[in-house]
Amino acid sequence: MELTNDYIRQRLEEKFGVDVSGFEQPYGLLTFETPKENNLKVMQFLFDDAELRFQFLTDLTAVHYPDQPGRELAVVYHLHNLVDNVRIRFKVFTAIEQPDVFTATSLYASANWMERETYDFFGVNFVGHPNLKRILNVDEMDYFPMRKEFPLEDQTRIDKDDEMFGRGGHIF
Amino acid sequence: MPRPVRFNVHPREADIHNNIAIAEMPAGLQGEGYFATSLERVVGLARKNSIWPLPFATSCCGIEFMATMGSHYDLSRFGSERMGFTPRQCDLIMVMGTIAKKMAPILRQVYLQMAEPRWVLAVGACASSGGIFDTYSVLQGIDQVIPVDVYVPGCPPRPEAILDGVLRIQELVHNESLRRRHSEHYKALLNSYGIE
């Protein structure tokens, strides 16, 4: 039987009830969210189930939504069923004051470096991660550069004139 | 039909009599059988025309540097024939390309491994100021970690510009006082970078 998005959704709702919500299918990719306490249970179910078999973690990252109080940070998981070639995506939201999310390293070894990267750029604290330290940025960095409160460019500098970079000024 | 091959059977005699650049004689006293000048000028002259550059190329400016070293632009004409790929034997470090903050300690280490006297050439916008990469991961100019003698602007600079930068380094080398590297001023400069 073909593994359709509707079937995956039905199985998830049978198992977790109201704890899985916000289903949508942008560009055909099944997307939903779950409370952050629940992320490992959902992943374990998707991993172990004989039909679902989402045993490959393609990607793990975070998104910062500063205008959503209490759920500023979204951690996004992309899972892949290699047998049926089906992909799904789910998100957990956490408050930025206490960004604790359970680590997925015990289930997917590839989560190790991706969680370190997510910590590096967004400051998500993956509880239980074996080696949660910066991976790409310098160790001395004291902030999480992908959070929205840190502008990409230094706004106070005057030695880099916009005109030299083709921004602002005149367009001929 | 084979392609006709033209042999250069009538080569033109090279006119080398007025075409060879000879280093100008330093100022001094001369007469029959002797010439006297200061040691500083002789050392400057010798150093100027035998700089060993160390290329530290990380990105596109390094490609321009390859053209500079190639036969068309030929940096070797200026006495910089030998690239040294060890900092310990080199006089001039040419930093070409974006230096990420993670790269900064490595660049600094390479600079520290060079023996005095040493000169630094920052080639291109990124090495000089961070260039277009005004962002959290890129060093905003290598002069934040090591002192720089000459900056070459451009993104990337043309080989002519890199040559011009090397010639300006040569001017500095030529005119540098032998006492400069022992002066308080120079020590203060290095100390401002945390270098003893």
Token pair 């790929």 is found at: B85
Tens of pLDDT, residues A88-146:
999 999 999 999 999 999 999 999 999 999 999 999 999 999 999 999 999 988 999 99
Evaluate whether residue B127 is within a structural domain. yes
Q: Residue A124 CA to chain centroid, in angstroms?
A: 10
Q: Which residue in B132, B136, B140 is closest to A145 by CB distance?
A: B136
**Does the beta carbon of B108 lie under 8 angstroms from any beta carbon of chain A?**
no
- CA-nearest residue to A152 within chain B is B135
Q: Identify the structural domains of chain A with CATH numbers, from first to last.
A: 5-154 (3.30.460.80)
**What domain range includes position B80?**
51-192
Contact residues, A window 70-129, toward B, CB-based 8 Å cutoff: none
The CATH number of residue B91's host domain is: 3.40.50.12280
Query: B123, B152 in Cβ contact below 8 A?
Result: yes
In whole angstroms, give the CA distance from residue B67 to residue B77.
14
In whole angstroms, give the CA distance from residue A45 to residue B140.
48
Tens of pLDDT, residues A75-95:
999 999 999 999 999 999 999
Q: Indicate yes or no: CB of B136 within 8 angstroms of CB of A141.
A: yes
Q: Supply the DSSP string of A72-129, one letter for each residue.
A: -EEEEEEEEETTTTEEEEEEEEE-SSS-EEE--TTT-TTHHHHHHHHHHHH--EEET-
> For the whole prediction, is pTM greater than 0.90?
no
Tens of pLDDT, residues A25-70:
999 999 999 999 999 999 999 999 999 999 999 999 999 999 999 8
Q: Indicate yes or no: CB of B137 within 8 angstroms of CB of A137.
A: yes
Q: Indicate yes or no: CB of B134 within 8 angstroms of CB of A137.
A: no
Q: Which DSSP letter does residue B88 get?
A: G
Give me the amino acid identity at A92.
V
Query: A149, A124 in Cβ contact below 8 A?
Result: no
Any binding-site annotation on B126? yes
User: What does the block give as tokens for B21?
Assistant: 């650049």
Q: Indicate yes or no: CB of B135 within 8 angstroms of CB of A150.
A: no
Evaluate whether residue B25 is within a structural domain. no
Token pair 């002066």 is found at: B183
Evaluate whether residue B95 is within a structural domain. yes
Query: What is the sign, positive or negative, of the torsion defined by CA atoms of A164, A168, A169, A170?
Result: positive
Q: Which DSSP letter does residue B100 get?
A: B
Contacts of B79 (CB under 8 A, 6+ apart): B48, B49, B50, B51, B170
Any binding-site annotation on B90? no
Choose, out of A138, A142, A150, A154, the residue to mutate when testing the contact with B (most B CBs < 10 Å): A138
Evaluate whether residue B56 is within a structural domain. yes
Listed as ranges, residues in chain B with pLDDT below 50 are none
Instruction: Give the pLDDT confidence score for residue A168 in this predicted structure.
Output: 62
Query: B52, B87 in Cβ contact below 8 A?
Result: no
Domain count, chain B: 1
Token pair 């940070």 is found at: A73
| Environment class of A40 (CB within 10 Å of its CB; exposed 0-12, middle 13-18, buried 19+) | middle
